[in-house]
């Protein structure tokens, strides 16, 4: 897994990625196919989806996000992993973005197509949401986010390649 996430090929970077994967696994952000504690000389095995999650966690770690902020993200990623939008990102048929946002005592996650949602949140916290079936609904008073990190999921998954 670490080799797939080491885009630069730098051996020092590879060691850092290996430590991150081990830390995320021990923190239950990544889930192994077998035992988490394999013992010396035995590699952990991960599903392809866990590699995709690791790529997202790695990307977000570049922005200084702490592991405590990743716990809710893990549950959310598990819930959207098989969605039509996720599949569109995997297949490269649409530009898909995931977004983490922070406001007063709240954190929000969103997956959008074609453009990140950050540009569409009104001052009152209202926004329009397009669902996978094409319906659009306005949401009001959901709270106001003050900062966001947006990741282009399509490009990130494309860089990883397929299983």
> Has this prediction a pTM greater than 0.85?
no
Residue 72 has pLDDT above 60, yes or no: yes
Which residues are within 8 A (CB) of 150 and not within 5 positions of it... i.e. 6 or more apart?
97, 98, 99, 116, 118
Domain that holds residue 116: 2-160
Domain count, the chain: 1
Any idea what DSSP says for residue 117? G
pLDDT of residue 123: 63
**Is residue 97 within 8 Å of residue 112, measured between CB atoms?**
yes
- Residues 69-81, mean pLDDT to the nearest whole number: 85
């Amino acid at each position: 897994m670490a080799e797939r996430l080491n885009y630069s090929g730098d051996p020092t970077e590879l060691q850092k990625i290996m430590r991150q994967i081990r830390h995320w696994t021990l923190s239950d952000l990544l889930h192994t196919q077998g035992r988490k504690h394999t013992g010396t000389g035995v590699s952990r095995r991960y599903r392809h989806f866990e590699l995709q999650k690791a790529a997202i966690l790695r990307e977000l770690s570049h922005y200084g996000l702490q592991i405590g902020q990743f716990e809710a993200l893990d549950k959310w990623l598990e819930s959207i992993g098989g969605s039509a939008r996720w599949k569109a990102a995997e297949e490269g048929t649409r530009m898909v973005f995931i977004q983490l946002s922070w406001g007063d005592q709240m954190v929000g996650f969103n997956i959008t197509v074609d453009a990140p949602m950050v540009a569409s949140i009104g001052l009152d916290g209202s926004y329009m949401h397009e669902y996978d079936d094409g319906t659009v609904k306005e949401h009001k008073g959901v709270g106001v986010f003050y900062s966001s990190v947006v990741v282009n999921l399509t490009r990130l998954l494309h860089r990883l390649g397929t299983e």
